[in-house]
Structure 1
Amino acid sequence: MNKFFIMMGQTYKNRVKSKSFLITTIVTIALIFVLTNIQSIIETFSDVDEEKKVAVLTEHGDWYEFLAGSVEMNDQLAFEKYEGSLNDAKTKVEEGDYESVVQVEQGADGTPEGTYYANQIANTGSSEAVRQALQQLKVQYVTEQADVDPAVIQQMNAPISLELVALEDSAKTAEELEQTRGLVYVMLFFMYFSVIMYGQMISTEVATEKSSRVMEILISSVSPVSQMFAKILGIALLGLTQFGIFILVGYIGIQQSKDIGDGSLLDFFGFTNIDPSTVVYAVVFFLLGYLLYATLAATLGSLVSRLEDAQQMMAPMMMLVVAGFMIAMFGLTVPDAAFITVSSYFPFFTPLLMFLRVGMLDIPVWEVALSLGILVGSIALLGWIGARIYRGGVLMYGKSSSLKDLKTALQLSKKEH
């Protein structure tokens, strides 16, 4: 047991000191800092305090007055009536006196229509504001021509109120469902990227030791099975360390960011009304999902002796992860679909799909217990099979990139046994 913990600690130390770990961690920390201060950064590199002037050319004075009034509340944009010609206005735009110019004329049907001129039309902020102002002007004009009370038009355009009420007492409210959907979405991405990143680490760790012949020395002192699970748990500790750093940096960034203001971390993400049991399920399914895929990654990694072959051997596992992720994305809109229900009992999809169902639906406890039982049983079975394959796989050298090598690994394992 002492050798097991030594192997686990060695795996952890080697990885935590590696350049890839440091670079990934630093880049992610920088990204978290940017995201938590995005508004301040945008304001620093943009002229948000400078009011953008738009020249308005129109023969209808009342139209201009309406347009100018429609953007009074917009402190980033101001309309200014231009008395000169269109060509002169374009020249003013090119010289930087105006951000843009809009010519408002009467269309064939008598309603207002405009033409927008600017040096670059890639910035849609100003043009969209002009479009909305012209739309309001058109509604106002048509309303007056038809002698319709503007209040009636405003009432017609007001959004309808539809309250969602669940008849079952145990069903989630619309607010709880929306917040749970956010948590499920976050967990799905965590699981997806964790399996890809840390699963790849485990397989390359094994392949590296085999390619350097270190494995031959380790086998004489530590059993292959102990090696496999030591690597799995060592990388798991690495992942917990990395996620802990990210959460801490994110928390500090959110607390100090002037863009977010007062409020807790849960307030920021909108998870204030999340059921605690949902968070517990998220942790349980995440850990079990990691163990399942990590065991598979270690098994596949033992079959290769060159780093170049590791990526190809990991392809089947990646396909499972991607398939589960895509099904889960579909399930976010229809979590009660029969296809989602059936797929949630497939062990490699269970961590994603069953958590999706638990979070968004009110399902019987026995279904959750059954899925957890299947998942734990699958981890135990895969661990047993994987240990036998690993025991033989670490003795295999040479070009190896086919699942046919599983048979060879099992035969070698029997000889060693």
Structure 2
Amino acid sequence: MNKFWVILEHTYLEKIKSKTFIIMTALLLLSVVAAVNFQSITDFFGDDDGKDQIAIIDETGFIFEPYKQSVETLDEELELVEFTGTEEDAKSAVQDEEYDSLVVVELNQENLPEATYFANNITDSSTQTTLQEQLQNLKVAISIEQTGVDEATIQEIYAPISFDTVALDDDAKTMEEMFQAQGIVYVMVFFMYIVVILYGQMIAQDVANEKSSRVMEILISSASPVSHMFAKIFGVALVGLTQILLLVGVGLVLINSKKDELVGGMLDSFGLVNIPMDLIIYAIIFFLLGYTLYATLAAMLGSLVSRAEDVNQLITPMIILIVIAFLVAMFGLGAPESTLVTISSFIPFFAPMVMILRIGMLNLPLWEIGLSIGILILTIMIMGLIGARVYKGGVLMYGKSGSLKDFTKAIRLSKKEK
């Protein structure tokens, strides 16, 4: 056990002192700061008054005032200015950036408004949509007035229908609870996907690098394969945990300092307010189990190669598994009760993502959650035993490798070492 801690400590210290870790952590911290201060950054680089000025040439003689009121009420970032000069002068003003764009409104043969939009570029689709929709509303109002239909009757026809959603099952979650769950599910799924790919590859790469330096025989002779493999896994896990704690700590401090600005805005949009504590606990459990499972697989695959450049090829099956789990989880956000999602939540390599989704979106019986956790733990134990044998034989294999056929060869070598 003492050798286990020596290897773990060596792995951890070596990783956190590396330039790669320092640079990556700094970039991630900058990303967190930028994300929390996104609105402030966009405001800083925006216009002084924050408004886009739209020049309007009103050839109808009566559209401008109601058009201005409806557009500016809907979008406070837009300001409509009536242009009294010629169309050519207005286009020149837009090209000279005196105005952001130009809208020419005129009447067609049916005496209904139509418009032409001019801008130096037409990439700002949101502004175009706002201008078009509000002009469409004015067109409807004018049409109603021309046909003589009572406007109150038209408004009643177009009024939104009352459509309430009521779950008959007493245990079913409300729409509000499901929306809150979606936030942590999104975070968990994306976080699990990134961590497995990043740190799984790091573990495999670390094992391959040690083999290429020919020090593996010494390490294996001084420590059991199980101790060495799990020391590597947990050493890299602590590196990831250190990075995660830094990111979460900085994020929480920044969010707390901007709480009034973010609550009701970004946090509410992602459902990250008032998250149930039991869901957070389950997310941590499934994340740790999922990481251990994939990390064990990564260490086992990394032991089969002796050159760092062969790692990416051999861990491709692991990447495919995590991608499939990610896709099933994304599908499950819209259909958490589907058969595919239900079955996948009990498949060990998919369960860390899919089961936490079902826990968040549905009211599951405890036996289903317990069964999924039990299957994960059992799979990790089996993978640990198999992985130790493959690891023991694999780390003694040298030469070109990049095929899963070396799996059986590694097991044969481990038997000879007994």
Q: TM-score range by the shorter chain?
A: over 0.9
- CA 1:96–1:361: 2 relative to 1, 3 Å: closer
- CA 1:145–1:266: 2 relative to 1, 3 Å: closer
In the TM superposition, residue 86 of structure 1 has moved relative to its aligned partner by: 1.6
- CA 1:246–1:56: 2 relative to 1, 3 Å: same
Write the deviation string for residues 48-77 of structure 1: whole angstroms up to 9, x where unpaired.
Answer: 515443332233222222223324435433
In the TM superposition, residue 265 of structure 1 has moved relative to its aligned partner by: 11
2:19 maps to amino acid: K
2:27 maps to amino acid: V
Structure 2 residue 51 is matched with structure 1 residue 57:
no
Q: Within 1, Cα distance between the matches of 2:222 and 2:115?
A: 82
Question: Does 160-169 or 247-256 show the bigger shift?
Answer: 160-169
- Retained in 1: the 8 A contact 2:182–2:271? no
SS in 1 for 2:305: coil
Q: Within 2, Cα distance between the matches of 1:53 and 1:351?
A: 50
Write the deviation string for residues 228-262 of structure 1: whole angstroms up to 9, x where unpaired.
Answer: 01001111111111111110111122123388257
- Name the counterpart of 2:287: 286
Q: Within 2, Cα distance between the matches of 1:178 and 1:263?
A: 14
Q: TM-score, normalised by structure 1?
A: 0.94
In the TM superposition, residue 119 of structure 1 has moved relative to its aligned partner by: 2.3
Structure 2 residue 21 is matched with structure 1 residue 21:
yes
SS in 2 for 1:138: helix
- Name the counterpart of 2:335: 334
SS in 2 for 1:213: coil
- Retained in 1: the 8 A contact 2:60–2:107? no
In the TM superposition, residue 268 of structure 1 has moved relative to its aligned partner by: 8.3
Question: Does 98-107 or 382-391 show the bigger shift?
Answer: 98-107
- Name the counterpart of 1:171: 172
Question: Does 390-399 or 62-71 show the bigger shift?
Answer: 62-71
- Retained in 2: the 8 A contact 1:286–1:351? yes
- CA 1:193–1:136: 2 relative to 1, 3 Å: same
Structure 2 residue 93 is matched with structure 1 residue 92:
yes
- Retained in 2: the 8 A contact 1:48–1:76? no
- CA 1:242–1:313: 2 relative to 1, 3 Å: same
SS in 2 for 1:54: strand
Structure 2 residue 77 is matched with structure 1 residue 47:
no
Question: Does 212-221 or 173-182 show the bigger shift?
Answer: 212-221
Q: TM-score, normalised by structure 2?
A: 0.93
1:305 maps to amino acid: S
- Retained in 2: the 8 A contact 1:176–1:273? no
- CA 1:303–1:127: 2 relative to 1, 3 Å: same
1:31 maps to amino acid: S
Question: Does 214-223 or 250-259 show the bigger shift?
Answer: 250-259
In the TM superposition, residue 384 of structure 1 has moved relative to its aligned partner by: 0.3
- CA 1:75–1:403: 2 relative to 1, 3 Å: closer
- CA 1:48–1:337: 2 relative to 1, 3 Å: farther
- Name the counterpart of 1:76: 77
* Long gaps (5+) in structure 1: none
Q: Within 1, Cα distance between the matches of 2:120 and 2:266?
A: 43
- Name the counterpart of 1:380: 381
Structure 2 residue 191 is matched with structure 1 residue 190:
yes
In the TM superposition, residue 109 of structure 1 has moved relative to its aligned partner by: 3.2
- Name the counterpart of 1:67: 67
- Retained in 1: the 8 A contact 2:12–2:236? yes
In the TM superposition, residue 380 of structure 1 has moved relative to its aligned partner by: 0.5
Structure 2 residue 132 is matched with structure 1 residue 131:
yes
In the TM superposition, residue 264 of structure 1 has moved relative to its aligned partner by: 12
In the TM superposition, residue 331 of structure 1 has moved relative to its aligned partner by: 0.9
In the TM superposition, residue 283 of structure 1 has moved relative to its aligned partner by: 1.1
Matches within 5 A, 1:348-363: 348-363=349-364
In the TM superposition, residue 394 of structure 1 has moved relative to its aligned partner by: 0.7
- Retained in 2: the 8 A contact 1:64–1:81? yes
Equivalenced residue count is: 417
Q: Within 1, Cα distance between the matches of 2:171 and 2:343?
A: 23
In the TM superposition, residue 131 of structure 1 has moved relative to its aligned partner by: 1.7
1:343 maps to amino acid: S
- Retained in 2: the 8 A contact 1:56–1:80? yes
Q: Within 2, Cα distance between the matches of 1:268 and 1:78?
A: 27
In the TM superposition, residue 19 of structure 1 has moved relative to its aligned partner by: 1.7
- Retained in 2: the 8 A contact 1:106–1:113? yes
- CA 1:247–1:78: 2 relative to 1, 3 Å: same
Q: Within 2, Cα distance between the matches of 1:391 and 1:274?
A: 44
- Retained in 2: the 8 A contact 1:54–1:99? yes
- CA 1:63–1:135: 2 relative to 1, 3 Å: same
- CA 1:373–1:267: 2 relative to 1, 3 Å: same
Structure 1 vs Structure 2: percent identity of aligned residues?
A: 51
Matches within 5 A, 1:1-400: 1-49=1-49, 51-73=51-73, 74-257=75-258, 260=261, 270-400=271-401
SS in 2 for 1:49: coil
Q: Within 1, Cα distance between the matches of 2:313 and 2:252?
A: 38
* Long gaps (5+) in structure 2: none
- CA 1:258–1:296: 2 relative to 1, 3 Å: closer
1:280 maps to amino acid: I
SS in 1 for 2:29: helix
Q: Within 1, Cα distance between the matches of 2:386 and 2:72?
A: 71
Q: Within 1, Cα distance between the matches of 2:98 and 2:267?
A: 46
- Retained in 2: the 8 A contact 1:202–1:298? yes
Q: Within 1, Cα distance between the matches of 2:277 and 2:98?
A: 58
2:188 maps to amino acid: M
- CA 1:275–1:23: 2 relative to 1, 3 Å: same
Q: Within 2, Cα distance between the matches of 1:373 and 1:72?
A: 58
Q: Within 1, Cα distance between the matches of 2:304 and 2:24?
A: 27
- CA 1:406–1:125: 2 relative to 1, 3 Å: closer
2:63 maps to amino acid: W
1:76 maps to amino acid: E
- CA 1:352–1:95: 2 relative to 1, 3 Å: closer
